[in-house]
């Protein structure tokens, strides 16, 4: 794609309101969500079609984007469009309850599943990196990860409080304030933690300041530390961004004997060529080296990760609660010689798996009207449908006050089995009764309880050793297709990079019709139900209890 073409194109933004440009609401929803993923308010580098997560893209090229949009506008209510790595490749007659779009992104046969092979194929224009919600058109900006990050930080804070009981607030050191990582400062303060976030790209910090995800930028380390420590001491959580390389700052803190209470990091380390800036290079110098000598770049990036992870290990030894935040930095650090990298635990086994066992995971929705009032109406519907959950109430009320919408108004909250279907049906009723101004799109991250195989993240340390078995993720995509999701996707390499994960996404549209109600009830039951059967099969007691209580059929339990 030439720069000229990009400049010529202008910004992409989803249509708002109740008027259709497609032949049905599901196609319209897919089109608006594709556009919304690339809205400059939402995407990290929309001019390159990059939505978030290193190079997670919504379409393979601008030409492919145009053809997808044209196909969606022309797609009938009994047809299904096939999208292969961000390019529309076919269209078949199916039936009204079938998904309108099926997407497969970045999938490679195991033996060939390496970044090198991926990049070779990408260079030939044959494949696209879809990350998780970029290539499956359900990214909603940093809010999408705020609640998961909040849940994680609360659990990590409690773990630290149990080990190191004392009065006063606590603070978190992290790095990477990109599309996902940018949720950290806000989630930290919501979780009662002060936060120092190291980010090398000033434009990313500006974006977080603009969207109120971070409170302040202070580039002087002494002053930044003083501000963070003081706010923690006084129990007034505050978030500070510092523009620097994390591989410089983390060891510097060790050298000074400064031990944060909690430590993690969320640079896009899963993609060492793009997602991590080596020490000693400006952004411009990094871009030049990346282009001239990719192998040298990768070696230097991994060396920076080693330095950073060594510092994290030292902070752990000094009592900090240190965890890997799902970007595969431990593997890269180990490849660069840090043998003890995996002494840092992953966040899923430590804090999230218990929720997965209950079929709990990230449930998100988007108001196609574009009217923020519609989200206020749906917020109330969630609290009516799930009345006895004080954490959920606190989350929704705090989100209403503190989260600025990006692109189409949207919301996220973690819901479990049973509640997801109840809420989906309640939303459909709001649309039917005209209490919201247009249909509601319901979807989720691929990072969910029954949709992903990712041994360095979601399925790390499974009880039965089944970490790398991807049958579950494939079954998830298949059952959601059978149940009538609106679009279903299957991706490789999201979160932790090529070779390391396989995962499925689903979106289902509440358009107020009876057919939609039937589909919502089926999809929002089978989808979290996959999480319960996956964890019950692996022997997790909580999942077995939830299956028994909720009536999820697990054949080997009789």
CB 255 within 8 A of CB 227: no
Instruction: Quote the strand ranges of 291-375, DSSP E.
Output: 321-324, 345-346, 361-367
Q: Which tokens go with 110?
A: 């195991």
CB 180, min distance to ligand NAD, A: 3
Strands 87-93, 216-217: pairing is: unpaired
- Identify whether 413 is a catalytic site residue: yes
Nearer to ligand NAD, 184 or 378 (CB): 184
Q: How far apart are CA 196 and CA 188, in angstroms?
A: 10
Q: How far apart are CA 306 and CA 302, in angstroms?
A: 6
Q: What single-letter DSSP state applies at residue 352?
A: I
Q: How many CB atoms lie within 10 A of CB 377?
A: 16
Instruction: Quote the strand ranges of 94-165, DSSP E.
Output: 101-105
Q: Which helix (DSSP H) or strand (DSSP E) does residue 507 occupy? A: strand 502-510
CB 363 within 8 A of CB 442: yes
In Å, how far from its chain's centre is CA 239?
Answer: 21
Q: What single-letter DSSP state applies at residue 184?
A: H
CB 454 within 8 A of CB 421: no
Task: Indicate the annotated binding residues.
Answer: 53-54, 131, 179-181, 199, 204, 245-246, 266-270, 276-277, 325, 495
In DSSP terms, 322 is beta-bridged to 263
Q: How far apart are CA 116 and CA 499, in angstroms?
A: 11
Q: Say whether 361 sits in a helix, a strand or coil.
A: strand
CB 194, min distance to ligand NAD, A: 19
Q: How many CB atoms lie within 10 A of CB 489?
A: 28
Phi-psi region of 2 (alpha: psi -120 to 50; beta: other; left: phi over 0): beta
Instruction: Quote the strand ranges of 427-495, DSSP E.
Output: 440-443, 452-453, 487-492
Task: Indicate the annotated binding residues for NAD(+).
Answer: 53-54, 131, 179-181, 199, 204, 245-246, 266-270, 276-277, 325, 495
CB 257, min distance to ligand NAD, A: 22
Nearer to ligand NAD, 306 or 420 (CB): 306
Nearer to ligand NAD, 94 or 107 (CB): 107
CB 181, min distance to ligand NAD, A: 4
The phi, psi pair for 180, rounded to 5°, reads -90, -50
Q: Say whether 94 sits in a helix, a strand or coil.
A: coil
Nearer to ligand NAD, 175 or 344 (CB): 175
Q: Which tokens go with 400?
A: 């209403």
CB 364, min distance to ligand NAD, A: 13
Residues near ligand NAD, by CB under 6 A: 44, 52-54, 145, 148, 175-181, 198-201, 204, 245-247, 266-270, 275-277, 304, 325-327, 447, 495
Q: Which residue is nearest to ligand NAD (CB)?
A: 178
Which of 195, 332, 357, 413 is catalytic? The answer is 413
Q: What single-letter DSSP state applies at residue 409?
A: -
CB 455, min distance to ligand NAD, A: 15
CB 167, min distance to ligand NAD, A: 30
Positions marked catalytic: 413
């Amino acid at each position: 794609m030439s720069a000229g073409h990009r400049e010529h194109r202008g910004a992409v933004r989803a249509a708002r309101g109740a008027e259709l440009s497609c032949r049905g609401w599901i196609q319209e929803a897919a089109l608006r969500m594709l556009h919304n993923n690339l809205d400059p308010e939402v995407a990290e580098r929309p001019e390159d079609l990059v939505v978030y997560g290193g190079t997670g893209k919504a379409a393979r090229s601008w030409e492919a984007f145009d053809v997808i949009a044209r196909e969606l506008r022309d797609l009938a209510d009994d047809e299904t469009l096939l999208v292969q790595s961000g390019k529309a490749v076919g269209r078949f007659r199916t039936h009204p309850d079938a998904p309108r779009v099926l997407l497969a992104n970045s999938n490679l046969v195991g033996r060939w599943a390496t970044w090198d092979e991926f990049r070779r194929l990408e260079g030939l224009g044959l494949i696209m990196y879809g990350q998780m919600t970029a290539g499956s058109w359900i990214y909603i900006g940093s809010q999408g990860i705020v609640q998961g990050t909040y849940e994680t930080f609360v659990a990590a804070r409690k773990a630290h409080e149990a080990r190191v009981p004392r009065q006063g607030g606590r603070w978190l050191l992290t790095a990477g304030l990109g599309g996902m990582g940018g949720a950290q400062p806000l989630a930290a303060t919501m979780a009662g933690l002060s936060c120092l976030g190291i980010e090398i790209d000033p434009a990313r910090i500006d974006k977080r300041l603009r969207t109120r995800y971070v409170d302040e930028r202070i580039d002087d380390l002494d002053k930044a530390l003083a501000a963070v420590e003081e706010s923690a001491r006084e129990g007034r959580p505050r978030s500070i961004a510092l523009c620097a390389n994390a591989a410089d700052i983390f060891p510097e803190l060790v050298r000074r004997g400064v031990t944060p209470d909690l430590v993690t990091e969320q640079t896009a380390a899963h993609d060492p060529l793009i997602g991590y800036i080596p020490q000693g290079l400006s952004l411009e110098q990094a871009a030049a080296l990346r282009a001239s000598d990719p192998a040298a770049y990768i070696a230097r990036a991994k060396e920076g990760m080693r330095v950073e992870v060594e510092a994290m290990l030292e902070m752990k030894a000094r009592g900090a609660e240190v965890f890997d935040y799902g970007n595969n930095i431990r593997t890269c650090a180990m490849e660069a010689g840090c043998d003890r990298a995996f002494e840092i635990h992953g966040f899923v086994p430590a804090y999230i798996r218990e929720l997965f066992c209950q079929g709990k995971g990230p449930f998100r929705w988007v108001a196609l009207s574009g009217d923020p009032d519609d989200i206020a109406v749906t917020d109330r519907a969630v609290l009516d449908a799930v009345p006895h959950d004080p954490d959920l109430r606190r989350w929704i009320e705090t989100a209403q006050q503190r989260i600025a919408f990006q692109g189409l108004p949207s919301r996220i909250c973690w819901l479990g089995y049973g509640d997801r279907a109840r809420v989906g049906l309640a939303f459909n009723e709001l649309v039917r009764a005209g209490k919201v101004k247009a249909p509601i799109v319901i979807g989720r991250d691929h990072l969910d309880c029954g949709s992903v195989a990712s041994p360095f993240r979601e399925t790390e340390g499974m009880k039965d050793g089944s970490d790398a078995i991807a049958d579950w993720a494939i079954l998830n995509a298949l059952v959601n297709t059978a149940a009538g999701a609106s679009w279903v996707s299957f991706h490789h390499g999201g979160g932790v990079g090529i070779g390391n994960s396989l995962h499925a996404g689903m979106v289902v549209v509440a358009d107020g019709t009876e057919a939609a109600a039937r589909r919502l009830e089926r999809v929002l039951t089978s989808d979290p139900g996959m999480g319960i059967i996956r964890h019950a099969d692996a022997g997790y007691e909580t999942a077995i209890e939830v299956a028994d209580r909720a009536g999820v059929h697990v054949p080997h339990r009789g």
